[in-house]
Structure 1
C-alpha cells in the first residue's frame, strides 16, 4: 500500500512538471527577456532642413510602458525598443503643439532607419501673433516651415477670437500707438483678463522685451515695478526698462535640457536697443531661469500660472481633442511628459500616470519671456536657435 501511494505521488509530480510547459512560457513571476532592436533617424522641422534637438522620441509597448530617448543637438537619435510593429512618436514640448507619429517595424537585433521625410515635426497647434515694431518672431516661425496667423491687438479683447489658438506670440512693440490707437493701453483690462483665461485653460504665450507690459501692466512698455494692469502679480516678476545698448558676453544657458538641445551653453547677446526691459526681481518657485548673465535672468518660463476665478473655457485646435498630456512614470523614476491618444489613458492611469505635465499645474499653458528678441534685420546670432526652441516647446 505504501509503495502504491509513493507511485501515485511520483506520477503526480511528473504531471505537474510536464504542465509547466516549454521555455517559451512567460509568467509575471518569471519574466523573459524581451527581444529588442534599434531605431535610428534624425528629427527635422517641417522645412526638412533644420535639425531639431531635444525632441522626445518614444514607443509604447503592449504593457503601456514607454521606451524613450531624446534627439541630439544635430537632430539624430537612437532608440532601443521591443521588436514588432509599433508607432514611433516624436514630440517637442508636451506634444500638444508639435508632434509626429510614424508606423515602424522593429526587428530583433537589427537597426531600423527612419527616413528624414517621415521624421519631420508636424504642426498641430494653431499659432497667432501680434505684429510688433521691433520684433518679427513670425519670420522665424515661417523659416521653420510652420504657419502663424496675424491677429490685431484689438482681437485680444475678444476671447472667442483668441480661444481658437494654442499659442500667441506677443512681439516687442505690439502695444504701441499704431496697434492700440491710444498712448495708455494699460487700461485695457479685458486684454489682461483674456490672456489670464487663455493661459489658465492651457493656451501658451511668448512675450519679449517691451511686451512684458502684457504680463504685468503698462503702456507700450513697463517703466517701473507696480505698473497698472497685467495679469501676473508684481511679487512674481518685476520689470524696468533701464537696459543699456551693448553686448552681454558669456551669458549662460542655465537650463540643461535647453543647452543639450542647442549644443552650446554660453553665448553673447547683442542688445542693440537702449531701454530694454531688465528683470528686477522674480519668484524662483514660479519662474524657471533658462538663460542668464551672472545672477541676472535674461529668459524665463513658467507653467505654474493659474487663476481659480477664471472661467473654464476650452482653448486650442480641435485636432487636440482626442489627445491628452500625461506625466508618465518610468521604471527608473525619471518621469516624462508626453501626449497620448485619449483611448490609451485608462491603461496608463492603471500603473500610476497622471494627467498634466510632470511639473506645474495640470491644465495651464506655458509663459515664456525673453529680454532679447529677433530683429527684422536677422542679426540675432545664437539667440536664433534659442527662439526656435521656444517656438517648438511652447
Structure 2
C-alpha cells in the first residue's frame, strides 16, 4: 500500500512539472556588481577668484574608503570621476594642511556635474605671517590671491609664543638686518628651529638665506655663525651678478601646475645669493639655471635637530584633519589631509599617517635666490612664487 502511495505521489509531481510552460521557469537571480560612477568638473581658483590654481589635488572616497583622485591643470580645470551619490569633494594644495576646501556634491551615474567657481575657491586654513624686508614684498602676492598675512618683526621671531601662533612665516629679502637688534639672533635661530621641527613652514629669499645658515644680512662664506640649518646641508654666497638668467623648472609637478618649464629670471639688483653647495639628499631642486644646472629654488621637509621641545604650532592642535600618505595605482604616492575620523579606515587599506616623504614632524623650508622685488618686473617668476605660497 505504501509503495502504491509513493508511486502515485511521484506521478502527480511529474505531471505537474510536465505541465509547466517555459514562461513559468524561475528567473535567474542576477547581482549587479558594477560601481555606478559619474564625473565632477570645475575650476580651482584662489580665494578671490582671480588666479587659477594648477596642480591642486581633488579627491573623494567611496563608502569603502577607496580614493578617487585627480589634479587640476595649469588653468585650474579638473574632471574627477567619482562614485554616484552624495559626496564630499576635497580640493587641496600642498598636503592640504594649509589650504583646502570641501564641497558637497551629488554625483549622478554616467553624468557630469559642474561645480561653480564659488564652490571651488581654495580656502586659507593656515595662519600666515611675514617679516618686512628691504627688497621683497611677498605680502603683495599673498594679498593679490585674496589671502591674509600678518606683519611680524624680528623681535616677534625671538618670542616662540608669538610665532607658534602661525603655520607659515615668510622672510622677505633684507629682513634679517631690518631694524633688528643683533643680540636677538640666537633666540631667532633657536625659535625657527623649534617652529620648523614641529611642523611650521618658512620661506626665505635671496639675502635672507642668513636666517637658515647664519650671518647678519647677505652671506659671503660657508659655515657662518648662527642659523639653524646644518652647515653641511647648504652654503650660499653673495656672488650673483645682475642680468637675465634663463632657468628650467626641475620638478614635474611644479611644471604641470605652472604650464611651462622654462623661465627667464630677472636679477635686477647689483648682487644676489648663489647656492654654491647643497646636500641633494636633504634638498629638492625645483628650479635651476639652464646653462649651469646651479640650483635657484630648493625646498626640504627633512629638518630634524636634537633637543627640540615639542611645541604646538598654528592650527595643528585644533585641526580635525590629519595628513596621510596614500599610494595610487602606478605606485604614485600623494600626501593629503583627510578628516581624522577616516584615518583608521584608510590605514586599514594601506595608507600611512604623515607625509609620504621627509621627517615625520618637519614643516617645509623653501629658499629661492630670486624674489618678489619691492619694485620692478619679475615676469613669470611671480607665478612660481604663487605656487610656493600655496604649497607650503
> Normalized against structure 1, the TM-score is what?
0.90
Per-residue CA deviations over 1:174-208 (Å, capped at 9, x if unaligned) read 012x42044xx6x7211111101100100000000
Rounded to whole Å, the distance in 2 between the matches of 1:248 and 1:378 is 16
**Which digits, 9 at most, give the CA deviation of each residue in 1:51-84, with x for residues without a partner?**
0000001111111111110000000001111111
How has the CA–CA distance of structure 1 residues 286 and 349 changed in structure 2, closer, same or farther, with 3 Å as cutoff? same
Aligned to 1:190: 187
- For residues 314 and 61 of structure 1, the distance between their equivalents in structure 2, rounded to whole angstroms, comes to 33
Q: Answer yes or no: is 1:277 the counterpart of 2:273.
A: yes
Larger radius of gyration: 2
236-245 vs 329-338, greater mean Cα deviation: 329-338
Q: What residue in structure 2 maps to residue 288 of structure 1? A: 284
1:314 deviation in Å? 1.0
Residue aligning to 1:364 = 362
Q: Deviations over 1:349-383 (max 9, x none)?
A: 11121111111122110000000000122511011
SS at 2:175's partner residue?
A: coil
Aligned-residue offset at 1:21: 8.0
Matched, 1:117 2:124: no
Compute the displacement of 1:320 (Å).
5.0
Q: 2 CA distance for matches of 1:353 and 1:361?
A: 17
- 5 Å-filtered alignment, 1:9-48, equals 22-24=29-31, 32-48=33-49
Q: Is the deviation greater in 221-230 or in 366-375?
A: 221-230
Residue 159 (structure 2) pairs with residue 155 (structure 1) = no
Q: Per the alignment, in what secondary structure is the counterpart of residue 392 of structure 1?
A: helix
The Cα offsets for residues 284-309 of structure 1, whole Å up to 9 and x where unpaired, read as: 00000000013200000011112232
Verify: 1:341 aligned to 2:336, yes or no: no
Distance 1:22 1:376 in 2: 73
The equivalent residue for 1:141 is 142
Partner in structure 1 of residue 18 of structure 2: none
- Would the alpha carbon gap of residues 196 and 339 (structure 1) be closer, same or farther in structure 2, given more than 3 Å must change? same
Q: CA deviation at 1:223?
A: 1.8
Conserved 8 A contact 1:124-1:320 = no
CA distance in 2, matches of 1:241, 1:23: 74
Report Cα offsets for 1:209-238 as digits up to 9, x if no partner: 000000000011212111101111111110
Cα distance change, pair 378–21 in 1 and its aligned pair in 2 (3 A) = farther
Structure-2 separation of matches of 1:345 and 1:248: 46
After superposition, where does 1:158-177 map in structure 2 within 5 Å? 158-176=159-177
CA displacement 1:215-271 (0-9 Å, x = unmatched):
00001121211110111111111011111111112x100101000000000011110
Displacement after TM superposition at 1:316 (Å) = 1.0
Say which of 239, 245, 248 aligns to 1:248.
Answer: 245
Check whether the contact 2:249–2:261 (CA below 8 A) recurs between aligned residues: yes
Which is worse superposed, 83-92 or 302-311? 302-311
Secondary structure, aligned partner of 1:335 = strand
What is the rounded CA distance, in whole Å, between the counterparts of 1:82 and 1:332 in structure 2? 21
Given the alignment, which residue of 232, 243, 256 partners 1:260?
256
Question: How much is the aligned-residue C-alpha RMSD, in angstroms?
Answer: 2.1
The Cα shift of 1:332 comes to 3.6
Is 1:322 aligned to 2:323, yes or no? no
Q: Residue deviations 1:72-116, cap 9 Å, x none?
A: 000000111111100110000000100000000000000000000
**Pair 108,196 (structure 1): closer, same or farther in 2 beyond 3 Å:** same
- Alpha carbons 2:44, 2:77 under 8 Å: kept: yes
Query: What is the CA–CA distance in structure 2 between the aligned matches of 1:117 and 1:339, rounded to whole Å?
Result: 22
**Secondary structure of the structure 2 residue equivalent to 1:199:** helix
Deviation for aligned residue 1:22: 2.8
Number of the residue aligned with 1:14: none
Give the Å deviation of 1:335. 1.8
Instruction: Report if the CA contact (8 A) 2:133-2:172 is conserved.
Output: yes
Q: For 1:160 and 1:52, locate their aligned partners in 2 and report how far apart those are by CA, in whole Å.
A: 33
Q: Verify the 8 A CA contact 2:134 2:374 in the aligned structure 1.
A: no
Q: When the two structures are aligned, how many residues end up with a matched partner?
A: 370
